[in-house]
């Protein structure tokens, strides 16, 4: 039987999602599209928000909602999500310049 979305947290736990978010944000500064959209001073906060969201989304506790007030770049989140949805993990294929993407 395939793993259900809500069971992912049970399999990889906090540590698995922390590793996933850390690896994603480790690559942001050198990414030609996303690097310009993430201020260096916000990378740690963005990493924490992504980790919390993924934990919530895949069956863990809902701590993510406590972070929503500190998430002023929601538009960027939706842009990244649409990039992933439309191009798999081909994030560099997304974008253009800031004017084109609405940021």
- Helix residue ranges, H only, the chain: 8-27, 43-57, 64-67, 74-87, 98-101
d(CA 36, CA 81): 17
CB 77 within 8 A of CB 71: yes
pLDDT for 76: 60
Report pTM: 0.61
Per-residue pLDDT 10s for the chain (103 aa) are: 888 888 899 999 999 999 999 999 999 999 998 888 888 888 998 899 899 989 988 988 877 666 555 455 555 665 666 666 655 554 444 444 434 444 3
């Amino acid at each position: 039987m395939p793993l259900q979305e809500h069971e992912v947290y049970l399999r990889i736990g906090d540590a698995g999602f922390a590793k996933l978010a850390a690896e994603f944000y480790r690559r942001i500064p050198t990414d030609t599209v996303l690097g310009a959209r993430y201020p260096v001073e916000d990378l740690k906060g963005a990493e924490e928000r992504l980790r919390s969201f993924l934990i919530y989304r895949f069956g863990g506790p809902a701590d993510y909602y406590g972070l929503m007030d500190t998430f002023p770049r929601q538009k960027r989140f939706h842009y990244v999500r649409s990039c992933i949805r439309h191009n798999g993990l081909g994030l560099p294929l997304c974008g253009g310049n800031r004017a084109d993407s609405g940021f």
